[in-house]
Structure 1
Amino acid sequence: MRLTHGRAAALMVLVTLLWSIAGVVTRHLDAAASFEVTFWRSAFNALGLGIALHWMRGPALWRGLVHSPWSVWVSGLCWSVMFTAFMVALTLTRVANVLVTMALGPLITALFARLFLHHKLAPRTWAAIVVAGAGIGWMFSQGASANEAGALAGIAVAFAVPVAAAINWTVLQHVNHGNDETHDMLPAVLIGAVISSLVTLPLALPFKATPHDVALLGMLGVVQLAIPCLLVVRLSRVLPAPELSLLGLLEVIFGVLWAWWGAGEAPGTTALTGGALVIGALVANELVAMRSPQRASEKQT
């Protein structure tokens, strides 16, 4: 099916809706916690991706996996950090804190592109980075003043997600050089899922998950992760990066609402004020970027 811009945008909204269910689902687990939660989700994600990519690529997928270029393996390592840190962070602090921290991804990507790829950043992006950084700093300082060790640890772990995502995107930009004839990067998601599950396996033992927990985490691995990850790679060919980033912010809104409605986890005042700074800065930056005739040359997300 040929994707029009409207269909791609609608599918991106669906992607963010699928991504956003992780927080509320983890709040309904019986016994699984921390690294065991991460292991089961990553394992089912790897299983789902393996089946899907084998159907799409055939046996050539497995023959070429080991000999994939360095960019695929670096991207896979980044995916593994994102998969692992996200779930661990959810077990340490509120869903809102995790999602707001993750929303820094596009701004960190822009900063890395400036530092490592020498892309020019507009003054509005520098301003957005400062404001968003102030928002995260506010959340962290309030957690420290309230002596909420779990909140501080959760925010610190969650911060690894946008950093890994920024490295991932910077590597892709370096390899692609804006050319459509690029390496097949879909196997990187599979590599990330396998690494995440292998690294967390010994930390997850002994297993405490009930069959109910395994069913929920299996659903997350396939529905919340494997399917939307495959979709977003396809959508990136149609939607410009600024628009993808802006639509991706819906995950924060959906995720907070899911946790509030489905688990009774109301976002705290600190998350609301800090989140307003982060989301406001990012929305303003991306809206201006989408209207700017120079957005393509800036290569920002």
Structure 2
Amino acid sequence: MPGMSHARAVALMVLVTLLWSGAGVVSRHLEAARGFEVTFWRSAFNALALLVALPLLRGADLWRSLREGGRALWLSGLCWSVMFTAFMFALTLTSVANVLVTMAIGPLITALFARVFLQHQLPARTWGAIAVAGAGIAWMFGAELQTGAAAGMGVALAVPLAAAVNFTVLQHVSHGSADPDEALGGEAAATPDMLPAVLIGALLSALVTLPLAWPLQASSHDLMLLAGLGVFQLALPCLLVVGLTAVLPAPEIALLGLLEVLFGVLWAWVGAGEVPGPATLSGGLLVLGALVGNELLALAGRHRAGPAR
């Protein structure tokens, strides 16, 4: 992906958010699986898909990467496991809109981490887009917070925190040292392959939630839906987003990731009857406007700088 144009990378990131956004509506059509069992099966099917895909993509290098990946690989894997576990469990505690709106603070956290830990100088347009999106999120958050929703939204808060750490680590590895200690001096290590981190996250999530999910009660209908989530809503888009960190800066990935909020709320509305309130709709329009405005300003800037590659 390093040779991919910015426009194609943005389009691929939009596809990623479309795939991610299906979890909420699918979870509303489960028959028997509840709580941690939903998380276990989704993570387990994700791990199975990755155990098939990664050896095809990497061959014997996959196992070498797992042995020699270092702390960055395992830190990223831990972040993926938190994201996988907290997101699906939060959906069992509160509405899709509440979960996704809580997750939407991710760009603010990611931008802060990139500025503090990676010394990124963010353009004014990105800060402006984050501010507008943040206003929309705050508006939705205040309106959607209901009695009994606090626990689910608290669990959901772990997702943007882990995602911000993860995107920062992936960007650090893509553009610099694989080991945080390398920044203090010494010879830089070879850049590790970070795709296996997604597998580590899936395995950790499945192992941690299996005891909490027992006894398993999912029907065959549930297993089919959860298998689809594991493969197409997790494995495929997560592999894509790891590659996109070599093309798009972490704050832009997180900002584009806000589309998951809009898509997810829409699917839950159309496919599961979870009607969002007026504040969710108006706040969502602010978020969408911030995304479109940021990308249009970026495109105009690249055109002024010279012809696109």
Q: CA deviation at 1:288?
A: 4.2
Supply the AA of the counterpart residue of 2:54: L
Counterpart among 253, 258, 268 of residue 262 in structure 2? 253
Deviates more, 1:46-55 or 1:60-69: 60-69
Q: Is 1:172–2:170 an aligned residue pair? A: yes
1:98-123 per-position Cα deviation (integer Å, ceiling 9, x unaligned): 22332322221111122333333455
Normalising by structure 1, what TM-score? 0.82
1:43 maps to 44
Q: Do the aligned residues in 1 keep the contact of 2:114 with 2:251 (CA within 8 Å)?
A: no
Deviation, structure 1 residue 57? 1.7
**8 Å contact from structure 1 (residues 135, 277) kept in 2:** yes
Residue number in structure 2 paired with 1:148: 147
Question: In the alignment, residue 232 of structure 1 is paired with which amino acid?
Answer: V
- Unpaired runs of 5+ residues, structure 2, are 179-189, 303-309
Show the 5 A alignment for 1:122-133. Answer: 132-133=133-134
How many angstroms does 1:283 deviate by? 4.9
The 2-side partners of 1:243 and 1:121 are apart by 10
Q: CA deviation at 1:158?
A: 1.6
Q: Which residue of 1 aligns with 2:307?
A: none
SS state at 1:66 partner = helix
Matches within 5 A, 1:212-291: 212-238=221-247, 244-245=253-254, 247-281=256-290, 283-285=292-294, 287-288=296-297, 291=300
Aligned-pair identity (%): 68
Number of residues of Structure 1 aligned to a counterpart in Structure 2: 290
Tell me which amino acid in the other structure corresponds to 1:257. L
Consecutive unaligned residues in structure 1, runs of 5 or more? 294-301
Q: Is the 8 A contact 2:259 2:288 kept in 1?
A: no
Deviation at 1:63, TM superposition (A): 4.2
RMSD: 3.1
Amino acid at match of 1:155: M
Q: Is the CA contact (8 Å cut-off) linking 1:103 and 1:278 kept in structure 2?
A: no
Aligned partners of 1:242 and 1:286 also within 8 Å: no
Whole-angstrom distance in 1 between the partners of 2:104 and 2:130: 11
Deviation of the 1:261 alpha carbon: 1.3
Change (3 A) 1:237 1:116: closer
In structure 1, the residue matched to 2:86 is 85
CA 1:105–1:116: 2 relative to 1, 3 Å: same
Q: CA 1:75–1:44 in 2, change beyond 3 Å: closer, same or farther?
A: same
The whole-number CA distance in structure 1 between the counterparts of 2:69 and 2:244 is 23
Could you tell me which residue of structure 1 aligns to residue 35 of structure 2? 34
Question: In structure 2, what is the equivalent of residue 75 of structure 1?
Answer: 76
3-state DSSP of counterpart to 1:29: coil
Q: Residue 212 of structure 2 aligns with which residue?
A: 203
Q: Normalising by structure 2, what TM-score? A: 0.80
Q: Do the aligned partners of residues 235 and 133 (structure 1) sit closer, same or farther apart at CA in structure 2, a change above 3 Å counting?
A: closer
> Cα gap change, 1:182/1:12 in structure 2, threshold over 3 Å: closer, same or farther?
same
Deviation at 1:95, TM superposition (A): 1.5
Partner of 1:13: 14
| Secondary structure of the structure 2 residue equivalent to 1:33 | coil
The answer to whether the 8 Å contact 1:242/1:290 transfers is: no
